[in-house]
Amino acid sequence: LPARTAFRRFWPMTKGLRRWLVLVWLCTVLGALAETSAILLFGDLTDNALQNGSLDAFWTPAAQWLAIAVVGAAIGYAGGSLAVWVSERFVMRLREHVFDRVQKLPPHFFQRHRQGDLLSRLTGDVEAVEQMAVSGLIGTASALFSAVFYAAAAFWLRWDLAAATFALAPLFWLAARRFSATWFRASVRSARLNQAYGQLVQVIETVCVLAAIDIGVWEISEGQMTLGQLLAFAALLGYLYPPIRSLAQLGLLVAVVTAGAERLVEVLDARPAVTDPAGRAHRETGRPDGTVEVRDVSFRYPGTGRGRTAPRRTHPKNNASTLACFCPR
């Protein structure tokens, strides 16, 4: 099942929640701006207050930093709470839709599928679809906005140092591509591969930060950069690489959630063995009380024309299984 097809299949279930998703994305943007501003204030505080030992130059940037931290915390709390609410609402809708569909399926469907398999589809696969339609979008937007703002701030501090450092960014993409391909070939070893991927990415991040500091020390010695700018640049790199890592793993995440969506679509697209004739109006039967009464009921097998009969043994168990197929109707 292509990822685009799976997304189009479940995206309509976010109707009524999309405006809240926009608010979550707005909170994500504001949160990334707040963190970027705090890092830049840290560099200014280092140059004007710490390096010079001036207490007078400390209070203004410190007050601004504290105000940004409080506002960022409030925005982060609002965005996080709203994101959880949207995710849970989507999960509730999807599970209600799946349960309603499962209750209409005939008994032989449950005979072909083990209970553990169905339970996995109704729990893990539902969560995978939620991650694709809601949580994944929020996480991707958060990583994208954060990476853009941190990269822009790094270029604003020192464009040549940023360009030299970002030249190593494709290593994250190559590592993610390599490990995702290995994961497809050997999913049984996924836990070990995840651990290896995390350690490799950490080494790449360390190499990038050390390279930036090495170039920054040279620029400080040449008078082209201050100590506060270098520390702020290193802090920006520390904040920048986790979003880049998340974006690099996006392909692997799409593959995982698409597999869950495909398993759930199989349940939703399963056709009942017994269907009502075309044009027949549905009649409400009222609240069930555990009693089944059969009166003036007729049926025919698919492919059998009207008026034709098929030989059948009149064993009670056969009759019971035939009647059981009508019960979900």
* C-alpha to C-alpha distance for 150 and 321, rounded to whole angstroms: 65
304 by Cβ neighbours in 10 Å (0-12 / 13-18 / 19+) ranks as: exposed
Q: Rounded to the nearest 5°, which phi and psi values hold at 75?
A: -65, -40
Run of H or E including 44: helix 18-45
Domains of the chain (ranges, CATH numbers)? 3-268 (1.20.1560.10)
Provide the 3-class DSSP secondary structure of residue 228. helix
* 69-74: long-range contacts, CB 8 A cutoff, minimum separation 24: 69/34, 69/38, 71/34, 72/30, 72/31, 72/34, 72/35, 72/38
Total residue count of the chain as it appears in this document:
329
Q: What is the phi-psi region of residue 224: left when phi exceeds 0, alpha when psi lies from -120 to 50, beta otherwise?
A: alpha
Q: What is the pLDDT along the chain (329 residues), one digit of tens a residue?
A: 777 888 888 888 888 888 999 999 999 999 989 988 988 888 888 888 877 777 777 888 889 989 999 999 999 999 999 999 999 999 998 888 888 888 777 777 777 777 777 777 778 888 888 888 888 888 888 888 888 888 888 888 877 777 777 776 666 666 666 655 555 454 445 556 566 666 776 777 777 777 777 777 877 777 777 888 788 888 887 788 788 777 777 777 777 788 788 888 888 887 766 666 665 656 666 676 767 777 776 666 666 666 565 555 555 555 556 666 666 55
Q: How far apart are CA 250 and CA 132, in angstroms?
A: 11
CB 42 within 8 A of CB 232: yes
Cα 198 from Cα 175, distance rounded (Å): 10
Q: Determine the 3-state secondary structure of 173 from DSSP.
A: helix
